[in-house]
């Protein structure tokens, strides 16, 4: 021992030991990447200054205005890319080196070579998809970690076959996962994995349904897919992209991700807020939510609106003191032609145009008939006069009435039609025959009338009809009413409403119910009812839809237990399935406890494979109801101390939330349903037995167990 001490003392007095070769290599790599980051940052700043100067000039015409909109988008994208500008590098087997970042940059000069590859570009894809088994021409992948304008670390992965790996970029990924949660979702473009990237870059020609368990990065994939599609399909920005989330809290959580990636042609909403000017103002029973969420209402409402159309009958219209009769057969033909594939109010406009046309023809025909009668009588008179003149003046000129034909010119006929179209009396007649309808009034009339419900929704049982009519109220709307209102509004169509104006497509889309989006993303898609899926399809008839969710986390009132059941009524078999199988968020210690919960929930799916360990086993503490508030307060205080700088969340049964919020004002206290899509460093799960006892409670417990990234604690409420 003394000898060792002497050696230590001798060492302490000598020169510092030489750094390990690995440290030298790391420092060299960091310095190398710092030099490149400095170069890229300088180039980015120069481009920002150049674009700012360009934007300072006034646009004189529409062409220059369009150019300035494009320049402003580029300027904003470059400005937001200051943080995390460079995050990756690919070294090719042929010696080429490509850096990957949030935006694409070219070196200075007219023919500048690519300096930085945009993460969405095809050239960047090997950064996410190359493996040692399939290197895709790459020898090495390097993850570059930065803080501001400083490189703080690198992770190298050989791809030349010397090292086999199943998880692409594991070092960088796990470093990112170990960071503290801040309550806002961060971008993950530097750590996307192959199965995630495959989904991000998949085609967008039809519905893509992505099944992914907790922590598999469903939301990250969906948001990055939006950024990729907007980058790849530039015209999609002209139509905007709609993101449907499960709650306002969730939308706030993800709000900064797409702007950080340079995308602003996006509208975010929930199904409850998707209808402009209409908001949910009251709750409903799960029974009614399930009944009113069924697809049968689409046909019921269609039939309901069709029943309100006018029926063919003879019309008697007055014009300038004379009555003109339009036969029932002609009216029937006009009705059939107007209704063909058109919403109610648009069909009325077409019908009115046909009435104007038919009435114009009737007036012209009446005028011509009168003129013909007058001309025939006048010709008799002229014939007698002509005979008398021949007798008196043989060989004289012969006068006739052939030049007086009484016909209106095309211009005169068109003027007559315009006068008829602008006539207030004719307009009132058409309005009385085909009145303007209001979707909200119609829906209340239907939902409160048992006879109407039985007539138009015969698939409902008598008990369900009674329940629907009993819960309907003259004011306020429930969540399941919104899709019904949306369907009715679509069937009725607008009443000559002006199209919203605005510089950006997203601004116009937010204000217009009938806007058709270039793409729709649905997060927590397992919660949507069949009628809500119809809402989605109406906004994207091209079916360019990405839906992500976990069917095992469903808590909605509908009875779907598979994706096929959930989307069959709207998409049939025309959709593509994809799956995320790796859990990056929830540690193995927690995921190992979820399989039994899934079985009790009736699932036949396998939980995703967790790839990381937090080293902290879930813990439980038994408490009585009387001690619950104090125990929860102490547990939250301890968790916040342990995860200082991170986040703590509390999940509890719905009937305990209010009481817990009153004593836990500094952390979110949510139900299992409200916690969907959220994550915290530590989760305190209060009364898991109570959550399991709720409707679809085992699904809810599965959600609650998997919200943490590091530590899970449970307060087990026991009888006194």
Coil, helix or strand for 310?
coil
Give which of 90, 96, 202 is closest to 143, Cα–Cα.
90
Check residue 148 and give its pLDDT: 84
The pLDDT of 294-298, averaged and rounded, is 97
The pLDDT of 338-355, averaged and rounded, is 94
**pLDDT surpassing 70 at residue 271:** yes
- pLDDT tens per residue, range 113-169: 889 998 888 888 888 777 666 788 998 888 888 888 899 888 787 887 554 343 333
CA atoms lying within 13 Å on the CB side of residue 312 = 13
The runs of H, that is alpha helices, within 307-406 are: 328-339, 344-392
Which range of 188-192, 537-541, 581-585 scores highest in mean pLDDT? It is 537-541
**pLDDT surpassing 80 at residue 708:** yes
The pLDDT of 570-587, averaged and rounded, is 92
The pLDDT of 11-27, averaged and rounded, is 59
- The rounded percent of the chain whose pLDDT value lies above 70 is 84
Q: Give the whole-angstrom CA distance, residue 158 versus residue 138.
A: 9
Tokens 């547990």 belong to 635
Give which of 708, 702, 700, 634 is closest to 678, Cα–Cα.
708
The pLDDT of 320-337, averaged and rounded, is 92
Check residue 569 and give its pLDDT: 94
Coil, helix or strand for 179?
coil
Element (H, E) at 617: none
Phi, psi angle pair for 171, to nearest 5°: -60, -50
What are the CA-CA distances from residue 630 to residues 2, 626, 665 (Å)?
A: 55, 9, 13
Check residue 398 and give its pLDDT: 41
**380 pLDDT tier (thresholds 50, 70, 90):** low
**pLDDT surpassing 50 at residue 176:** no
Question: pTM here?
Answer: 0.73
Check residue 231 and give its pLDDT: 77
Q: Give the whole-angstrom CA distance, residue 67 versus residue 87.
A: 30
Check residue 184 and give its pLDDT: 46
The pLDDT of 571-584, averaged and rounded, is 93
**pLDDT surpassing 90 at residue 395:** no
**pLDDT surpassing 50 at residue 404:** no
Q: Give the whole-angstrom CA distance, residue 168 versus residue 191.
A: 8
Tokens 């030049």 belong to 403
* Lowest mean per-residue pLDDT among 34-48, 124-138, 550-564: 124-138
Check residue 397 and give its pLDDT: 41
Give which of 38, 26, 35, 37 is closest to 156, Cα–Cα.
26
Phi, psi angle pair for 14, to nearest 5°: -90, -175
Check residue 79 and give its pLDDT: 86
**pLDDT surpassing 90 at residue 195:** no
String of DSSP letters for 14-46: SPPPPPPHHHHHHHHHHHHHHHHHHHHHHHHHH
Strand partners, 211: 549, 579
* Lowest mean per-residue pLDDT among 289-293, 344-348, 398-402, 675-679: 398-402
Q: Give the whole-angstrom CA distance, residue 147 versus residue 33.
A: 13
Q: Give the whole-angstrom CA distance, residue 355 versus residue 369.
A: 21
Task: Look at 226 and 654; give whichever has higher pLDDT.
Answer: 654
Average pLDDT of the chain is: 84
* Lowest mean per-residue pLDDT among 54-63, 195-204, 546-555: 54-63
Coil, helix or strand for 710?
strand
Domains identified in the chain and CATH numbers: 21-165 (no CATH), 218-305+440-583 (3.40.50), 309-436 (no CATH), 588-717 (3.40.50.300)
* Lowest mean per-residue pLDDT among 176-190, 425-439, 625-639, 646-660: 176-190
Structural tokens at position 548: 């992500």
- pLDDT tens per residue, range 486-503: 999 999 998 865 555 555
Q: Give the whole-angstrom CA distance, residue 23 versus residue 190.
A: 23
Which range of 217-221, 251-255, 385-389, 398-402 scores highest in mean pLDDT? It is 217-221
């Amino acid at each position: 021992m003394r000898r060792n001490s002497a050696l230590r003392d001798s060492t302490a007095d000598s020169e510092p030991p030489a750094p390990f070769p690995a440290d030298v290599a790391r420092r060299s790599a960091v310095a190398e990447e710092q030099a490149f980051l400095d170069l890229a940052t300088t180039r980015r700043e120069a481009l920002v200054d150049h674009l700012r100067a360009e934007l300072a000039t006034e646009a004189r015409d529409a062409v220059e205005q369009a150019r300035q909109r494009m320049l402003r988008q580029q300027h904003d994208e470059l400005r937001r890319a200051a943080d995390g500008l460079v995050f990756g590098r690919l070294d090719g087997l042929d010696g080429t080196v490509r850096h990957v970042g949030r935006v694409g940059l070219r070196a200075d000069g007219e023919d500048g070579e690519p300096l930085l590859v945009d993460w969405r570009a095809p050239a960047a894809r090997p950064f996410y998809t190359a493996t040692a088994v399939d290197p895709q021409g790459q020898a090495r992948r390097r993850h570059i970690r930065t803080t501001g304008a400083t490189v703080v670390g690198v992770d190298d992965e050989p791809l030349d076959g010397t090292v086999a790996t199943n998880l692409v970029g594991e070092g960088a990924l796990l470093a990112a996962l170990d960071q503290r949660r801040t309550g806002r979702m961060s971008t993950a473009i530097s750590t996307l994995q192959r199965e995630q990237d495959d989904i991000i870059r998949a085609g967008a020609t039809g519905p893509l349904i992505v099944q992914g368990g907790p922590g598999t990065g469903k939301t990250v994939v969906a948001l990055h897919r939006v950024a990729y599609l907007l980058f790849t399909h530039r015209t999609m920005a002209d139509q905007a992209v709609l993101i449907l989330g499960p709650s306002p809290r969730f939308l706030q959580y993800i709000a900064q991700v797409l702007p950080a990636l340079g995308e602003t042609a996006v509208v975010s909403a929930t199904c409850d807020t998707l209808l402009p000017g209409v908001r949910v103002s009251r709750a409903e029973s799960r029974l009614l939510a399930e009944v009113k969420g069924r697809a049968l209402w689409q046909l019921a409402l269609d039939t309901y609106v069709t029943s309100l159309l006018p029926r063919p009958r003879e019309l008697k219209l007055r014009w300038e003191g004379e009555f003109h009769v339009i036969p029932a057969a002609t009216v029937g033909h006009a009705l059939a032609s107007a209704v063909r594939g058109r919403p109610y109010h648009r069909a009325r406009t077409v019908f009115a145009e046909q009435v104007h046309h038919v009435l114009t023809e009737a007036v012209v025909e009446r005028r011509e008939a009168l003129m013909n009668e007058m001309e025939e009588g006048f010709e008799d008179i002229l014939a007698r006069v002509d005979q008398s003149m021949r007798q008196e003046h043989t060989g004289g000129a012969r006068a006739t009435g052939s030049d007086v034909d009484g016909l209106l010119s095309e211009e005169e006929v068109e003027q007559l039609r315009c006068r008829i179209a602008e006539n207030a009396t004719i307009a009132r007649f058409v309005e009385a025959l085909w009145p303007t309808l209001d979707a909200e009034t119609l829906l209340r009339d239907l939902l409160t009338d048992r006879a109407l419900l039985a007539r138009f929704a015969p698939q409902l049982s008598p008990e369900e009809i009674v329940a629907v009519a009993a819960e309907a109220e003259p004011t306020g709307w429930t969540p399941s009413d919104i899709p019904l209102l949306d369907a009715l509004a679509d069937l009725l169509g607008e009443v000559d409403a002006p199209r919203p104006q605005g510089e950006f497509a997203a601004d116009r889309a937010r204000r217009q119910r009938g806007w058709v989006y270039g793409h729709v993303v649905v997060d927590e898609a397992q919660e949507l009812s069949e009628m809500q899926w119809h809402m989605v399809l109406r906004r994207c008839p091209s079916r360019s839809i990405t839906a992500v969710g976990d069917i095992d986390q469903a808590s909605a009132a509908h009875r779907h237990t598979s994706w096929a059941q959930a989307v069959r009524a709207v998409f049939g078999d025309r959709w593509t399935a994809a799956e995320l199988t790796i859990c990056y968020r929830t540690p193995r210690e927690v995921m190992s406890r979820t399989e039994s919960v899934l079985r009790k929930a009736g699932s036949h799916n396998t939980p995703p494979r967790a790839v990381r360990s937090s080293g902290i086993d879930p813990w439980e503490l038994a408490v009585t109801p009387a001690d619950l508030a104090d125990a929860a307060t102490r547990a939250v205080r301890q968790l916040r101390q342990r995860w200082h700088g991170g986040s703590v969340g509390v999940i509890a049964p719905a009937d305990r939330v209010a009481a817990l919020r009153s004593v836990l004002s500094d952390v979110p206290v949510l139900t299992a349903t409200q916690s969907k899509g959220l994550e915290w460093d530590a989760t305190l799960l209060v009364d898991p037995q109570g959550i399991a006892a709720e409707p679809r409670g085992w699904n809810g417990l599965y959600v609650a167990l998997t919200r943490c990234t590091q530590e899970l604690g449970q307060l087990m409420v026991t009888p006194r």
